[in-house]
Structure 1
Amino acid sequence: MHNHHFLIDNKLKELTEHSTTTWPIALYHTKIRDHMSGYIPLHWHDEFQFVFILEGEAEFHINEKILNIQQGDGVFINSGCLHMAKDANGTTCTYICLNVSPHFITTNELFTTFVHPYMHASQTPFILFNRKDGWPNQIYQCIQIIQRLIEQTPAYYELELNIQLITIWKCLLQNRFQLTYDARKHDRNERMKHMLNWIHEHYHEKVLLQDIAREGQLSRSECCRYFNDILKKSPIHY
């Protein structure tokens, strides 16, 4: 397990290769303020992400929602969702983070039924882990086992990794995952990615609101509404 300092491309996709040796899985120990920006900037990635707060408190922005997550609690972030994080309420936040490729959760035969539909469940961009609920403790315990397996690599640890990942996924499906799809939310997320991508490619030029709105195929007022809803700031301020 190691500290995580990442780069993002002009589409805000994280460039980090989330893998340990030959496996599409990675475990990070992150202190938010140690990042070069002082916070975790807005980005997205194809991997599922599981976060548990070890110290302090964090403010996560996931798509249009703002979540305050306290020590002992956590969050699951679905594939492809825009998110960022910063310290909250004057604390210094440290968290453990498991990133795993959706294709590594289970076998190809089971992937179509038990994983792929949930990747596109636009009504579930995240799932909060509240320690008072009890069931998230099983996920946290599995992550701790995964950490030991990665660090110690005992005999047959690859098989044990798969067991722990399937246990995590089954626990998530049994307790909180809603298999619902809203084309409007998916479209909204994709439009936002396109507009942010355009800004990152042209920010050194004269950036006009009408240009940003055109990239998202929106009116100027609707473009501003997107930014205010998702980023809590105007396009030009961003």
Structure 2
Amino acid sequence: MKKISNILISNNNKQEILSNMNPDFPYISSYSELDKYPEKTAPWHWHESIELFYVKSGSLEYNTPQGKKIFTKGQAGILNSNVLHKTRSLDENGNTVLLIHMFRPVFLSGKKESLIDKSLIAPFTSSHEIELMQFTNKKHKELIRLIKESFTLNENDLAFPIMIRSTLCDLWIRILELNETKVLLSNKNSRHVAEDKLKSMMVYIHEHYCEKIAIIDIANSAFISERECYRTFKNSLQLTPLEYLYNYRIQKASYRLRYTIEPITTIALSCGFSSSSYFGKIFKEYTNHNPNEYRALWQDIDSE
């Protein structure tokens, strides 16, 4: 199980980079220490993989376009394929840990467009109603026990590939058989067009964040008006397009402050800020630290 304390975004499709996921075996497990992420937050992103998780300790907030859910120790959940999401630790003691199975739909179906895919996988992954499901001890005690137990499988065991696939298939069927899943699946709406437009605009920002960007540029990337651009961002992310742009620039700058020794002026200019002084002002507004303080703080933590 790989320990992770940050996420990386692909320069090609702007999804999260899931290192160590083999196309021939599209599954990885991770031990996510959310309090070690910059600002204790995994910023808005998406990935094709389904995310089945158990909260080992602490508490956190999951945000999707449908809203937010609070998860506490001992709870579990499933995040659907390609759903925009952001997570943030809420634990005052700095000890939020998630155990996560991440797997592409084809890991269960064996093949896209197969009978299993069409009847058991695609109806779930294509549902607009199912973004994030929460499992609590009050309603899902046995399911949570099995999800927790699934993380005890030994990855070094010769039979692990078959055992983990069999285990996840069993969990998948149990989730499909939940009454709340059946209700959600009864709504035949597929993923909303607005989310596709939002992703197109996010991709544009990810590709051009280092340049001077106007709202009209962002809107044009999805072939919509400026007004619809504002509405789409606000309805889904509770941010304006410019707020998202600045968040993304700060995210990229934070990573480079933490993991490189590049001069702050170089980082500022290459992340789309007009000067190092303006960068410092905006950076402190977002993080409560100036760039030098932030770099010293996180490099001290990483050296522990």
Give the alignment's TM-score, normalised by structure 2: 0.70
Return the index of the structure with the highest Cα Rg: 2
Q: Which residue of 1 aligns with 2:169?
A: 166
Amino acid at match of 1:121: S
User: Contact conserved, 2:44 with 2:86, CA < 8 A, in 1?
Assistant: yes
Q: Which residue of 1 aligns with 2:189?
A: 182
- From 119, 124, 131, give the equivalent of 1:118: 124
User: Contact conserved, 2:54 with 2:148, CA < 8 A, in 1?
Assistant: no
User: Bigger shift: 19-28 or 219-228?
Assistant: 19-28
| Cα drift, residue 37 of structure 1 | 5.5
Q: Which residue of 1 aligns with 2:134?
A: 128
CA distance in 2, matches of 1:205, 1:161: 45
Give the alignment's TM-score, normalised by structure 1: 0.88
Does the residue aligned with 1:3 lie in a helix, a strand or coil? strand
Any idea what the Cα deviations from partners look like across 1:115-161, whole Å, max 9, x if unmatched? 122110111112111121135x42552453354232x415x333322
Does the residue aligned with 2:54 lie in a helix, a strand or coil? strand
Q: 1:220 to 1:20 in 2, by over 3 A?
A: closer
Q: Which residue of 2 aligns with 1:40?
A: 42
| Cα drift, residue 192 of structure 1 | 0.6
Does the residue aligned with 1:45 lie in a helix, a strand or coil? coil
Q: 1:225 to 1:213 in 2, by over 3 A?
A: same
User: Contact conserved, 1:77 with 1:126, CA < 8 A, in 2?
Assistant: yes
User: Bigger shift: 173-182 or 162-171?
Assistant: 173-182
Unaligned runs of 5+ in 2: 245-304
User: Bigger shift: 188-197 or 84-93?
Assistant: 84-93
User: Contact conserved, 1:12 with 1:42, CA < 8 A, in 2?
Assistant: no
Any idea what the Cα deviations from partners look like across 1:166-197, whole Å, max 9, x if unmatched? 111001100132223435x5211110100011
1:55 aligns to 2:57 (yes or no): yes
Q: 1:211 to 1:27 in 2, by over 3 A?
A: same
1:153 aligns to 2:153 (yes or no): no
CA distance in 2, matches of 1:169, 1:117: 13
User: Contact conserved, 2:57 with 2:97, CA < 8 A, in 1?
Assistant: yes
1:96 aligns to 2:99 (yes or no): yes
CA distance in 2, matches of 1:168, 1:129: 12
CA distance in 2, matches of 1:130, 1:212: 40
User: Contact conserved, 1:62 with 1:82, CA < 8 A, in 2?
Assistant: yes
With CA pairs under 8 Å and 6+ residues apart, which has the higher RCO, 1 or 2? 1
Identity of aligned residues (%): 21
Amino acid at match of 1:182: N
CA distance in 2, matches of 1:113, 1:18: 29
Root-mean-square deviation over aligned CA pairs: 2.3
Any idea what the Cα deviations from partners look like across 1:7-33, whole Å, max 9, x if unmatched? 112443012145379522111111112
- From 7, 19, 22, give the equivalent of 2:21: 19
How many residues get paired?
Answer: 234
CA distance in 2, matches of 1:190, 1:131: 34
Amino acid at match of 2:130: T
Q: Which residue of 2 aligns with 1:6?
A: 7
Q: 1:203 to 1:157 in 2, by over 3 A?
A: closer
Unaligned runs of 5+ in 1: none
CA distance in 1, matches of 2:229, 2:23: 43
Any idea what the Cα deviations from partners look like across 1:55-104, whole Å, max 9, x if unmatched? 11111112341221111112211111111111126353211111011111
Does the residue aligned with 2:51 lie in a helix, a strand or coil? strand
Q: Which has the higher helix share?
A: 2
| Cα drift, residue 229 of structure 1 | 1.9
Q: 1:80 to 1:142 in 2, by over 3 A?
A: same
User: Contact conserved, 1:146 with 1:164, CA < 8 A, in 2?
Assistant: no
